[in-house]
């Protein structure tokens, strides 16, 4: 099962959450996306302090980002979502890329940028190596 820390690690800052979600009401709003851009939070607009998200028809707000992350994590677990990375690519210099599995172990070293780009496309679609 995915841990809370793994869920947190799936988060990334975005400049326009509305563009990603294709939601006109959130166009131009910055925020954070989690779990391969499935779950999200935005800065609180009502209080101007902290973060908010909507799960179902319930809105959650908190000054602490961890509180909202915990709500999103609990939802992800309840829904059976797995936000853990299957594999990652990391540039190690001299035109070489490491491919690591979900545990962090190196499974192969990729010698060319072209090959790494192809692998990145596969990984972005969530396919196993």
**SS3 label, residue 43:** strand
CA distance 59 to 71: 10
CA distance 96 to 7: 29
Q: In 6-115, at which residue ranges do the beta strands (DSSP E only) sit?
A: 12-14, 31-34, 39-43, 51-55, 58-62, 87-93, 96-101, 106-110
Q: Which pLDDT score is estimated for 99?
A: 76
Residue 127 has pLDDT above 60, yes or no: no
Residues in the chain: 129
Band of the pLDDT at 113, cuts 50, 70, 90?
Answer: low
**SS3 label, residue 45:** coil
Tokens 């609180």, residue located: 44
Q: Which pLDDT score is estimated for 84?
A: 75
Task: Note the pTM of the prediction, 2 decimals.
Answer: 0.65
Phi-psi region of 120 (alpha: psi -120 to 50; beta: other; left: phi over 0): alpha
CA distance 56 to 37: 17
Q: Which pLDDT score is estimated for 112?
A: 62
Give 96 or 11, the one with higher predicted confidence: 11
| Average pLDDT over every residue of 113-128 | 60
Tell me: the pLDDT tens digits for 48-89?
779 999 999 999 999 999 999 999 999 999 999 988 766 667
**In the chain, where are the structural domains located?**
4-78, 87-124
């Amino acid at each position: 099962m995915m841990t809370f820390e793994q869920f947190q690690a799936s988060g990334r800052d975005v400049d326009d959450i509305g563009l990603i979600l294709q939601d006109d009401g959130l166009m131009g709003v910055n925020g954070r996306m989690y779990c391969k851009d499935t779950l999200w939070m935005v800065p609180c607009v009502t209080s101007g302090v902290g973060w908010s998200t909507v799960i179902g028809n319930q809105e959650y707000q908190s000054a602490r980002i961890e509180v909202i992350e915990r709500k999103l994590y609990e939802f992800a677990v309840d829904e059976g979502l797995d936000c853990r990375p299957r594999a990652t690519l990391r540039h190690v210099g001299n035109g070489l890329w490491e491919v690591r599995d979900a545990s962090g172990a190196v499974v192969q070293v990729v010698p060319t940028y072209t090959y790494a780009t192809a692998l990145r496309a596969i990984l972005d679609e969530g396919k196993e190596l």
